[in-house]
Amino acid sequence: MTAKTKEIVAVSTLAACIAIFFVIDIVFGSVVMNRPTEPEYILVIPSVRHASINVQSYISNPIQTLTMRGALSSFFPTKLFGTSYRKTRWIDNVNAMYQAYRRHFSMIYLEYNIPKKEYDVIFVLKKNNRRFHFANGAMLPNEVYNRKKHFVPYYYAYPTDGCVMITRYPVVFTDKLYAMDRNYEFYYDLYGRTRKTINDQLEFIQFGRFSFPMNTGTECYEAAKSVFKEFELLRHSTPKLERWFNSIKSISSFSPRTIANTGRPSTHTFSIAMDILTRDNRPNYWYWTSKLRKKWWTVPPEERAYIPPEVIEIFEAHGFCWGGKWERYDMMHFEYKPENLLRMIR
Ligand SMILES: [Zn+2]
């Protein structure tokens, strides 16, 4: 064969292969052209034994748990937080709640109320067999489910791209979200209800000369331990970071108290949050700033107390959200809210 013939053979073989591939694709369906644009989500039912259950007028059917694709809702939490905040679907929120606390559920199933044409996901706690309705993230026990519109979700809007949530001036205090309640039964069951029962679940973490307790009711304590293990390396990685870590004055976690201006228990109540206070005296916490400066929200992010982005990233990687991203900024505050971060992952 001449070089020319070889070339012709090679080109036509290649063309034939491409043609055959497309024929196969057309005949056998979408190999290349028609990939589903959204991943499938299937709720895992850890205990199939209980999957079929009859409770009052509700009927749950294990087969229906596999048809979640049709159950996508248009839950787009808010327009308040600009482009940094991605739309999350109902199913992403359900999955985030499942992923965040999966070791603590004995079963999860989709429940249909056929006369009302409503559905919801039920999470059953392993610890006490208590049922929680997902209720758009509010995690409601049966007794308050008929008042579901009064309760806010456990997760909240949280940008994962490093952006701070400031889009409106001035910040409106009477927004609807803050007028609503959160039902804390889910946290009470996981982390303890009274000072004593919470205290019984605490384990201390050591970091240099600091020592603070975190709650072992979920993976919070282990996650915090991993964060500070990474900090042992991070703190010596650059002079800037070394200076920041050396400027830490205190790390405090457990403190039974309510959130300023709301009456809701703070995540410090459950010891799933910590405040890292440094010698940086710039505006740190909106509530303190509001005492000195009426328009506390006008302090630009770069003029607030500094927290290194590496520190924030490590916290987020382990399920902690940073209060510095909130409109009501709290630069020293980190809280264990894995559901917030997981809901942004598809
Ligand atoms: Zn705090």
Neighbours of ion ligand 1 (CB under 5 A): 275, 333
| Same domain membership, residue 180 and residue 142 | no
Shared domain for 191 and 60, answered yes or no, is no
CA distance between the termini of the chain? 54
DSSP letter (8 states) at residue 16: H
Band (83; pLDDT cuts 50, 70, 90): very low
- Six token digits for residue 257: 């108290």
Decide if 41 is inside a domain.
no
How far does the centroid of ligand 1 lie from the alpha carbon of residue 333, in Å?
Answer: 4
Residues 54 and 200 in one domain: no
Kindly state whether residues 252 and 145 are assigned to the same domain: no
Is residue 27 one of the residues assigned to a domain? no
Centre of ligand 1 to C-alpha 315, Å, is 14
| Residues spanned by the domain of 78 | 48-149
CB 127 within 8 A of CB 103: no
Provide the percentage of residues in the chain whose pLDDT is more than 70. Answer: 66
- Shared domain for 134 and 61, answered yes or no, is yes
180 domain-assigned: yes
Query: How far, in Å, is the centroid of ligand 1 from the Cα of 5?
Result: 76
Exposed, middle or buried, 236 (CB in 10 Å: 0-12/13-18/19+)?
Answer: exposed
Question: Residue 97 C-alpha to ligand 1 middle, in angstroms?
Answer: 23
Confirm whether 17 is domain-assigned: no
Whole-angstrom distance, CA of residue 109 vs CA of residue 279: 49
Question: Average pLDDT of 312-340?
Answer: 91
Report the number of distinct structural domains present in the chain.
2
Q: Which CATH number covers residue 289?
A: 3.30.1380
284 alpha carbon to ligand 1 midpoint, in Å?
Answer: 11
The verdict on residue 169 lying in a domain is no
pLDDT over 80 at 172, yes or no: no
pLDDT value of position 298: 79
Residue 8 covered by a domain: no
Position 290 confidence tier, pLDDT thresholds 50, 70, 90: confident
Residue 239 and residue 314 share a domain: yes
* pLDDT over 90 (residue 52): no
Question: Ligand 1 centre from 274 Cα, in Å?
Answer: 5
Asked if 83 and 182 sit in the same domain, the reply is: no
Cα–Cα nearest to 215, from 224, 228, 226: 224
161 belongs to a structural domain:
no
* Shared domain check, 202 and 293: yes
Confidence of residue 28 (pLDDT cuts 50, 70, 90): very low
Residues 57 and 113 in one domain: yes
Q: Are residues 332 and 261 in the same domain?
A: yes
Q: Is the domain of 295 the same as that of 333?
A: yes
Most distant pair of Cα atoms in the chain: their distance: 90
pLDDT beyond 90 at 47: no
Judge if 57 and 130 occupy the same domain. yes
| Better pLDDT: 1 or 135 | 135
pLDDT digits (tens, 9 = 90+) for 198-225: 999 999 999 999 999 999 999 999 999 9
pLDDT at 50: 28
Helix 220-234 × helix 309-317 angle, to 10°: 150
Among residues of the chain, what percentage have pLDDT more than 90? 41
15-24, 252-261, 294-303, 325-334: least confident range: 15-24
Query: Are 213 and 202 in contact, with CB atoms under 8 Å apart?
Result: yes
The predicted structure's pLDDT at residue 158: 80
